[in-house]
Amino acid sequence: MQTDLDPEPESRVEGGGQAGPTSGRGHGQLSRLRSSSLEIKEKEIREKGSEILREQLDAAKKELKLKDKECERLSQVRNQLEQELEELTASLFEEAHKMVREANVKQAAAEKQLKEAQGKIDVLQAEVTALKTLVLTSTPSSPNRQLHPQLQSSGTRGAYKHVGGHVRNKSASGGFPTSSGKPEPSPVSVQPKEDREIDSVLFAEFLMWKEHPSLDRSSAFLSRIYSEEIGPCLSFTRSELSQLVQSAVESNSLTIEPVAMSALPMVKASAIECGGPKKCALSGMSRLCRHRIKLGDKGSYYYISPSSRARITAVCNFFTYIRYIQQGLVRHDAEQMFWEVMRLRREMTVAKLGFYLTDQG
């Protein structure tokens, strides 16, 4: 806004010429009008601009609020998805752990059943082996009392009586009636009764072995039997085959079977090491061989003489019995077990000296 500095305005002279005081005042009023109109326009422009800015600001605020709501909604959706994902992961892990636990339980049950089945199989195999050995060692002239329990009975039922390790016929002890009606006593050979006494050293070795029974020959009990009975009993002329026979007996994989004499095959020269119907493969001596052996899964058969069979069978009987002790199948006390072991050792000793029973009839 401009200020009029003229203290006494003069009137403007009409019709030209030099302006007077009146024309000067008119020019000042015009200037004031112009400046005021400019101020009004500027004010209007400022107000209109402020109004536009306020409208834009309000619109921006509204848009910002909408975006805040959208962000909040998206955040809620994200939280919900994360929660659902965590729940799903937890349920999957729980289901996986449950499946693993069930699988472990089933595996443990299957392993337990397998061990029980293997134990039963071992017991059955031991029983079959023992029965096979008993059958092979029973002959008409010398029946095995474990296969024929009626021979062990006494009194009126027993036809035989066991006294001191000898067998005699009870009918021979009775008298035959004579013409006078009185029985005449018949002569009877009285056998001396066998007595026995426990060797303290042998019994102590057996008790130490019985605490932890095994087939390891390092124990004093088995080491003595190997050196005194098993080794000499299975020591034949053919040393290499003897070692194979001993290994098969120890691993319980030796088979003895009778040979039908009418169906014996002809032995070729290439198979002479296996012996033949009239030659023992172990001793190399000419003997009538009624049995043959097979070592494990090998396809070869070896013909053996009755003496060789008796020696092998005696050792097999001993191993069968100590395997029964090892497996806990023998329910006798320690002294009874010891005397049975001594009896089996005596059988091996007798067999290695060449004594054996023959089939008659």
Residue with tokens 């290439």: 270
| Statement: the pTM of the whole predicted model exceeds 0.75 | no
| pLDDT by residue, tens only, the chain of 361 residues | 444 444 444 444 444 445 555 566 677 778 888 888 888 888 888 888 888 999 999 999 999 999 999 999 999 999 999 999 999 999 999 899 999 999 999 999 999 899 888 888 888 887 787 776 665 554 444 555 554 444 444 443 333 333 333 333 333 333 334 444 444 444 555 567 778 899 999 999 999 999 999 999 899 999 999 999 999 999 999 999 999 999 999 999 999 999 875 444 444 433 445 767 789 999 999 989 999 999 988 778 999 999 999 999 999 999 999 999 999 998 889 999 999 999 999 999 999 998 988 765 4
Nearest 10 degrees: CA dihedral of 303, 306, 310, 313? 40
Q: How far apart (Å, rounded) are the C-alpha atoms in residues 287 and 285?
A: 6
What's phi and psi for 223, nearest 5 deg? -60, -40
Distance from the first to the final alpha carbon of the chain: 163
Q: Give Cα 358 distance to the centre of its chain.
A: 47
